[in-house]
Structure 1
Amino acid sequence: MQSNESVSKSRRKVLHITESFGGGVTSAINSYILNSSQHEHFIFASVRSNDATGEESIGAARGIRLVPRKLSSIVELKRYIDEVAPEVIHLHSTYAGFLGRLLPFVPPARTIYTPHGFAFLRQDHPVALALYRLIEKLLARRTAVIAGCGLDEKNIANAELSHPATTELINVCDELPVVDTIRSQTDKPVIGMVGRVSTQKGYNFFAELAANCGDIAHFKWIGGGSADAVEVLQQSGVEVTGWITRPQVIAHMQGLDVYFHSAAWDGFPISVLEAARLDLPVMLRRIGPFVAEDLVTFASPAQAAQEIRAWLAGSPVALERALNNTARIQNHHSVENLQRALDQLYDRF
C-alpha cells in the first residue's frame, strides 16, 4: 500500500495548451485527462468556432481558460502558467507546438508535444512542406518528449526529427453518449465520414468515392466546413450535416452501415476509434497511421470504390477485411494501453 507521501510525489500539475480546441483535439485531450486522473489537469485553449463540438467547456479538467485566437492571448498564457505553476506543459497540434516552444516562459525541460498530424505531411507546396519540416526539426530541440498520437507519429518523430525521447500515446475511445440513432432518409446502405470538411480530411477523395458509388450507396459527411468545400461534396450527392454536437455526431454514426475515413493526413483519428467502438465495419484511406498498424487501406477512390462494391455484394473477403480493421483497432487502442502510456509519460517529469 502506498504512503500518502509517495502518492503526493506522483501527482503532477499538467497544463494542456492548444490553438485548435474543437473536433478531435477536444476529444483527445479530454481522453488523456480522464485516463490519468491521478494528476491535476488544466487547459488553456482557443476554440475554432467552425470546429466547436460542445465539449469545449466540459470534462474532468480542474481549470479551463478559453481565449480568443489572437496573438495578444500570449500575455494571458503567461499569466495562466504563473497561476497554475505546472510541472508538465503538454502542447497539442502544430500551431500550439510552434508558438509554445518559441515562447521563453515555456520551459523546454517540462514540454511535451503531441502533433495530432505533422504539418509536413500535408498536401501542400513542396517549399512549404520543407519549411514545416525544418521548423519541426529546430523546435524538437526545445521539447522534452514528442508524444505521437499513434505509432506512426512516434515513428516519424524518430525518423524525421531524430528526437531522443519519443513515445506512442495511444488514442482511445472513451464511453460514448447514449443517444437515439439518426438514419438518413434513404433505402441504400449509408457510408459516412466524420470531420471538418477540409483538405486534410480528404473531402475531394470522399466526393469522388461518392460519385463512383452513389448508385448503390448513400454517402454522408458528418461535420461542416467552408461553403465551397461543402458544395463539392453536395454536388457529388453527399449529405452534409454541418457542425453538430458530439452526441449528435454519435447519433448519426450509429445510423451508418460503414465508416470510411478519407483523411489525406492525420494523427490516429478519434472518429475512427468511435466507429470501432460502435462495431461499424471500418474502411480506410492509405495514410501513415493506418499503415503503421497493419490495417487494410486503399490508396485511391477507385480502389476504395471497388472494395465498397465488393462489400455491398456480400464478398466474404471484403466483409472480413472491414471487420478485421474494427477488431484490430479495438484491441490496440484500449484504455489499459493508454493509461500505461500516460503513466510512463507524465512520470518522466
Structure 2
Amino acid sequence: MKILHITESFGGGVTSAINSYILNSQQHEHYLLASVRKGDTTGEESQGLFKHMELVPRRLSSLARVKPYIDRVQPDVIHLHSTYAGALIRALPFIPAQKIVYTPHGFAFLRGDHPMMLKAYRAIESLLARRTAVIAGCGMDEQRIAGELIEPGHTLGLVNVCDELPKVPTVRSLTSKPVVGMVGRIGRQKGHEYFRVVAESCRDIAHFKWIGGGDARAMAELEHAGIEVTGWRPRAEVIAHMQGLDLYFHTAAWDGFPISVLEAAKLDLPIALRRIGPFVAEGLVTAQDVDDARKTVIAFAKADASVLADLRRNCSSIRSLHSGEQLQSSLEDLYSRFTPRPTADRLAIG
C-alpha cells in the first residue's frame, strides 16, 4: 500500500513521530511531502525510510505542489500531520476525503488563546472532520477529543513511541544542584512561562535548563531568570543534554503525547508533568498548578521518598504503554481500513 505523509511542520517532535510510524509499518511504501519550519531541524529529517520525499518552502504558494505530487505517487492513503496541514489539505477539493487520515499532534483549539479564537478553531475542525476518513490521534486523549468531532468509529489512537537513542557522551551543567530540564520550542505551547515561574521560585535548590530554542525575546526572558538555554541542537546533542538531567519536567500547556517525554522515559529519568489531557488520560501523576509544581521540585531536591516514587512510576508507566508492539498493532488497524489500488493502476514515481 502507498501512504503519502503531508505536513507543514516537519521538524521537532513531528519528525520523530512520523519516522516512528514508518519504522513500525515497513510493509507499506511511504512517501513524504513536507516543509520544514525554520530553526526546527533536528538532524532526523533525512532519516525516515521513505520511498521518496519532497521538501518544499513553507509558504502558501507551495500548495501548488500538492496535486502534481499526488498525481505522481497515486497514494492509497493520504496521512496528514499537524493542525495546519490538516486544515489546508482537507480544504482542497481535489483531495479525496475517503483517503484522508489526520493526526493533529495537538489540536489547535486546546491552545491558550482568546475564547473566540478557540471556538473558531474547533468549528473549523468540526467542519473539516466531514472531509476525513479517520482521525488518528496521538494517544488516548487525542482520540477521545477526535470522537467529539467525528463518529467515534472513525477514530483511532496511535501511541507515540521512542526509537533507539543515539549513544552519545553526556553533557552536564556546571552546577552542584539537581538539574531540572524541559525540551522543546520556547513558546506558549510548551509552557515556557510556567517553567520560568517554577524556576524562579526554586532557584535556591535546583538548576533549571531549557533544551531548545525559539523566539529571541522569550529566550532572553528565560536566561534573565537564571535558566540555562541551549538553543536548537541536533537530536544527538539534545539526548546528550537530557542524559545530564536529574529530573525531566514537561510543562506544555497543550500537546499530543510529546516525544521528549518518551525520550526521558527511555533514559530512565524521573518525570514530572504539568496537568494536561494526554497525561491525565494515562493515569500519570501530574502537577495541578504552578504551586504544586514548585512543591514537587522542592520535594524532589530534598529526596522525598513518596514524590520520588511517583516520578519514577510515571517513567515506568510511560515505558510500558508506549511500546513498538502497541504502535505496530495500531498502525496495522489504521491502514487496513483502506483498500490498495491494483498494481496495474499505479503510476511509478520518477
The answer, yes or no, to whether TM exceeds 0.5 is: yes
Match of 1:9 in 2: none
Within 5 Å, give how 1:203-218 maps onto structure 2. 203-218=192-207
Match of 1:98 in 2: 87
Match of 1:312 in 2: 301
Q: Look up the SS of the partner of 1:51 in the other structure.
A: coil
Give distance in 2, aligned partners of 1:144 and 1:240.
Answer: 42
Distance apart, 1:315 and its partner CA: 1.1
Distance apart, 1:299 and its partner CA: 2.3
Give distance in 2, aligned partners of 1:171 and 1:28.
Answer: 6
Within 5 Å, give how 1:216-255 maps onto structure 2. 216-255=205-244
Give distance in 1, aligned partners of 2:153 and 2:129.
Answer: 10
Tell whether the 8 Å contact from 2:31 to 2:51 is kept in structure 1 after alignment: yes
CA deviation string 1:18-70 (max 9, x = no partner): 00110000000000000001100011100001211121122211111000011
Give distance in 2, aligned partners of 1:236 and 1:304.
Answer: 17
Q: Are residues 208 and 335 of structure 1, via their aligned partners in 2, closer, same or farther at CA, if it must alter by over 3 Å?
A: same
Distance apart, 1:162 and its partner CA: 4.7
Distance apart, 1:270 and its partner CA: 0.2
Match of 1:30 in 2: 19
Give the aligned residue type for 2:122.
R
Q: Look up the SS of the partner of 1:186 in the other structure.
A: coil
Q: TM-score, normalised by structure 2?
A: 0.95
Give distance in 2, aligned partners of 1:163 and 1:341.
Answer: 15
Give distance in 1, aligned partners of 2:125 and 2:62.
Answer: 23
Which stretch has the larger CA shift, 100-109 or 195-204? 100-109
Give distance in 2, aligned partners of 1:49 and 1:242.
Answer: 13
Within 5 Å, give how 1:122-137 maps onto structure 2. 122-137=111-126
Tell whether the 8 Å contact from 1:101 to 1:139 is kept in structure 2 after alignment: yes
2:278 paired residue among 283, 289, 292:
289
Q: Look up the SS of the partner of 1:43 in the other structure.
A: strand
How many residues are aligned here?
Answer: 338
Tell whether the 8 Å contact from 1:146 to 1:163 is kept in structure 2 after alignment: no
Give distance in 1, aligned partners of 2:36 and 2:322.
Answer: 27
| Structure 2: gaps of 5 or more residues | 339-350
Tell whether the 8 Å contact from 1:204 to 1:232 is kept in structure 2 after alignment: no
Match of 1:3 in 2: none
Which stretch has the larger CA shift, 256-265 or 159-168? 159-168
CA deviation string 1:258-307 (max 9, x = no partner): 10000000000000000000000000000000000000001222111101
Root-mean-square deviation (Å)? 0.9
Q: Look up the SS of the partner of 1:314 in the other structure.
A: coil
Give the aligned residue type for 1:21.
F
* Aligned: 1:332 with 2:324: no
Give distance in 1, aligned partners of 2:152 and 2:83.
Answer: 17
Q: Look up the SS of the partner of 1:21 in the other structure.
A: coil
Which stretch has the larger CA shift, 83-92 or 50-59? 50-59
Match of 1:4 in 2: none
2:108 paired residue among 105, 119, 130:
119
Match of 2:181 in 1: 192
Give distance in 2, aligned partners of 1:311 and 1:168.
Answer: 33
Give the aligned residue type for 1:248.
E
1:343 paired residue among 324, 327, 332:
332
1:146 paired residue among 131, 135, 142:
135
Q: Are residues 124 and 161 of structure 1, via their aligned partners in 2, closer, same or farther at CA, if it must alter by over 3 Å?
A: farther
Q: TM-score, normalised by structure 1?
A: 0.95
Give distance in 2, aligned partners of 1:331 and 1:112.
Answer: 26
Q: List structure 1 segments (4+ residues) > 2 angstroms apart after TM superposition.
A: 159-164
Q: Look up the SS of the partner of 1:15 in the other structure.
A: strand
Tell whether the 8 Å contact from 2:210 to 2:227 is kept in structure 1 after alignment: yes
Give the aligned residue type for 1:211.
E
CA deviation string 1:85-136 (max 9, x = no partner): 1100000001000011111221110000000000000000111000000000
Give distance in 2, aligned partners of 1:70 and 1:198.
Answer: 21
Match of 1:48 in 2: 37
Give distance in 2, aligned partners of 1:36 and 1:192.
Answer: 32
Give distance in 1, aligned partners of 2:50 and 2:170.
Answer: 29
* Aligned: 1:178 with 2:167: yes
Tell whether the 8 Å contact from 2:169 to 2:240 is kept in structure 1 after alignment: yes
Give distance in 2, aligned partners of 1:271 and 1:143.
Answer: 28
Q: Look up the SS of the partner of 1:188 in the other structure.
A: coil
Within 5 Å, give how 1:265-280 maps onto structure 2. 265-280=254-269
Give the aligned residue type for 1:23.
G
Q: Look up the SS of the partner of 2:308 in the other structure.
A: helix
Give distance in 2, aligned partners of 1:44 and 1:105.
Answer: 16
Distance apart, 1:159 and its partner CA: 2.9
